[in-house]
Structure 1
Amino acid sequence: MFQQFNQETIYLISTPFIVGFIVLEIYLSYKGQTETYTKKDTFTNIYFALLNFSLDMLMKGFSFFVLGFFYINNLFTFETGIIYWVSCFVTQDFLYYVHHCVDHKSRVFWAVHATHHNSELFNLTTGFRSPVFQPLYRYVFFIPMAIIGFHPLHILFAYTVNQVWGTLVHTKKINKMGILEYFMVTPSHHRVHHASNLKYLDKNMGMVLIIWDKIFGTFEPEDNKYEEIKFGLTYPIENKGPINIIFHEWKAIYKDATQPNISFNDRLKYVFYNPAWKPQIKD
């Protein structure tokens, strides 16, 4: 089961469907006269996707080597039946949830991930707005799977399949999805994740299953009685050039961590603590 598939096969199968959905979303946005797309934002999203994909391909061999190193000393040996594959997809989705929480809760990781959030628009191409440098370390979060006994190729395959769904939930054109709202990440859940409204910050971190958010207290439903969702960051970025979009948070970290008259510990906290962390002001 699934042995004949790999990451490249999933890309070949999913890309035409995703492109078709994007064309449909553009048409519906144009017909409804809503500014869901702009040329600059769309091309920026595609540009970041190409950068991320290129680095991902360069890192693929190394990430496979690292996962393989831990896999050869795995704890368990599994037969690749239905239970194995379901466990593989679910475990991968959970570890992505952990990875995503770290991206939001540690500033050095947020500096990479912020690229995905700093668009003020929200559409299917926002799913392409990939953190450029994430392939450098993403595989580290999947090492526990290799230790347990999941084959490295299967781990990367599961991530790719899950990522297809993670791309498709970037849309405002679908309201609620019935019973799926209870256990899967839906467009409604993911709109909350991309919102900069205070109530919605750092919520709904899952990619396929929303159960992790419900278990660990990071779930927040979309509330139509609350204020209108505002997409983007909590602070504006005046320079929306691609270089600044990638490095603006790194610049802010450097500025905070190198300011005078603060302790070495505080400098480290500016780098590794929550992005909103500030030193306590002593009376």
Structure 2
Amino acid sequence: MYSYHEQVLLLFSTPFYIIIIGAEVLLSSLHFHKKTYTLKDTLTNIYLTIANGLIDMAFKLSYLWVLVQVFNHSPFRNWHTGALYWVLLLIAEDFTYYWLHRFDHEFRFLWAVHVTHHSSRQFNFSVGFRSSVFEPLYRFIFFIPLAFAGFKPLDILFMYSATQIWGTLVHTELVGKLGWLEKVFVTPSHHRVHHGSNPRYLDKNMGMFLIIWDKWFGTFQEELPEQEYAPIQYGLTKNLENPNAFTIIFHEWIQIYKDVTQKGLTFKQRFKYIFGPPGYSHDGSRKTSKQMEREEAGQPPLSSK
């Protein structure tokens, strides 16, 4: 079920991850005197990535079949696999991931899947493995246009796996800003913002590899000095009080059910509790990220109807 290229990535990336996580643990505690890891949180990250991997393996033949069918009916499938092909695939896949990630944040039924990745109050390399467990069930839909454009399905999956390595490495507090790289690529500084629950940082910096999409489509936010704004608070705007193996994955789905089954709601209100933005409430009891950002900035509130 894995292409040769994916097998090579897996072979070399696994020991690499072990080394960098070990180095981060030592550096953070011995040199920076900062506790960036806890045993419980790290074990949770491992549990979530294993759960994600099992679902991905179980479903992979199905979604790969879909991508192959689309590719076989594409009028553009006779590409030569030269350097230009791989560069274009990298750009196209990263663009596609940006929109997948952005939709994960903007539609509550997708956020209910993605929220697990943001549920840690730590920020370290291991959090990069805190996977959105059920994302493999729909992620391939965003790759269908790539298959139609003539990119081979196994190459698409390989490129996604390759950019995920970069996406994992930006989960760290130990690397500061990286000069000119900040203008083009997603960096640890950019991704710290993405994991912040501060109102100004919510739903920002959605890219995996290139930050240019956020700058083009209005979701970019630079990491601000603490004296100018506030220290980054990692986690959710309302963190789980007693997280466990079940609630970490399903808590948002449970809350959606409770919201939708409230008495006296209109069809539109029930619809928005599922398909509207996370934080929507018909009575103003909760706030969306945009509402919280406007409130913090002292701007007029948005309607919750």
2:121 match: secondary structure:
coil
If the length of structure 1 is used for normalisation, what is the TM-score?
0.96
Comparing 155-164 with 257-266, greater Cα deviation is found at 257-266
Q: Structure 2: how far apart are the matches of 1:22 and 1:83?
A: 34
Q: Structure 2: how far apart are the matches of 1:213 and 1:5?
A: 32
Shift of 1:81: 0.6
Q: Which residue pairs with 2:290 in the alignment?
A: none
Q: Structure 1: how far apart are the matches of 2:166 and 2:58?
A: 24
**What letter is aligned with 2:279?**
A
2:246 match: secondary structure:
helix
1:121 match: secondary structure:
coil
2:120 aligned with 1:119, yes or no?
yes
Give the fraction of aligned pairs with identical amino acids, expressed as a percent.
50
If the length of structure 2 is used for normalisation, what is the TM-score?
0.89
2:169 aligned with 1:181, yes or no?
no
Number of residues paired by the alignment? Answer: 280
**What letter is aligned with 1:35?**
K
Q: Which residue pairs with 1:226 in the alignment?
A: 229
Q: Which residue pairs with 1:241 in the alignment?
A: 244
Q: Structure 1: how far apart are the matches of 2:12 and 2:65?
A: 26
2:55 aligned with 1:52, yes or no?
no
Q: Structure 2: how far apart are the matches of 1:42 and 1:108?
A: 26
Q: Which deviations, in whole Å up to 9, do the C-alpha atoms of 1:175-199 show, x marking residues without a partner?
A: 0112111100000000000000000
Shift of 1:280: 6.4
| Correspondence list, 1:194-233, <5 A | 194-224=195-225, 225-233=228-236
Q: Which residue pairs with 1:42 in the alignment?
A: 42
Q: Which residue pairs with 2:73 in the alignment?
A: 73
Comparing 106-115 with 172-181, greater Cα deviation is found at 172-181
Q: Structure 1: how far apart are the matches of 2:151 and 2:75?
A: 10
Comparing 26-35 with 273-282, greater Cα deviation is found at 273-282
Shift of 1:269: 1.2
Q: Which residue pairs with 1:82 in the alignment?
A: 83
Shift of 1:6: 2.1
Shift of 1:228: 0.3
Q: Structure 2: how far apart are the matches of 1:208 and 1:221?
A: 16
Q: Which has the higher contact order (CA 8 A, sep 6+)?
A: 1
Q: Which residue pairs with 2:8 in the alignment?
A: 9
Q: Which residue pairs with 1:91 in the alignment?
A: 92
Q: What are the ranges of 5 or more consecutive residues in structure 1 without an aligned counterpart?
A: none
**What letter is aligned with 1:158?**
M
Q: Structure 2: how far apart are the matches of 1:15 and 1:241?
A: 26
Q: Which deviations, in whole Å up to 9, do the C-alpha atoms of 1:65-109 show, x marking residues without a partner?
A: 010111111131311111101001110000000000000000000
| Correspondence list, 1:240-259, <5 A | 240-259=243-262
Shift of 1:61: 0.8
Q: Structure 1: how far apart are the matches of 2:258 and 2:145?
A: 35
Q: What are the ranges of 5 or more consecutive residues in structure 2 without an aligned counterpart?
A: 285-303
Q: Which deviations, in whole Å up to 9, do the C-alpha atoms of 1:146-166 show, x marking residues without a partner?
A: 011100000000000000000
Q: Which deviations, in whole Å up to 9, do the C-alpha atoms of 1:1-41 show, x marking residues without a partner?
A: xxx84222111111111111100000012213312000000
**What letter is aligned with 1:37?**
Y
Q: Structure 2: how far apart are the matches of 1:88 and 1:227?
A: 38
Q: Which deviations, in whole Å up to 9, do the C-alpha atoms of 1:116-166 show, x marking residues without a partner?
A: 001100000000000111111111111000011100000000000000000
Q: Which residue pairs with 1:23 in the alignment?
A: 22
**Which structure 1 residue ranges, 4+ long, deviate > 6 Å from structure 2?**
280-283
Q: Structure 2: how far apart are the matches of 1:47 and 1:252?
A: 22
Which residue of the other structure, out of 272, 275, 292, is the alignment partner of 1:272?
Answer: 275
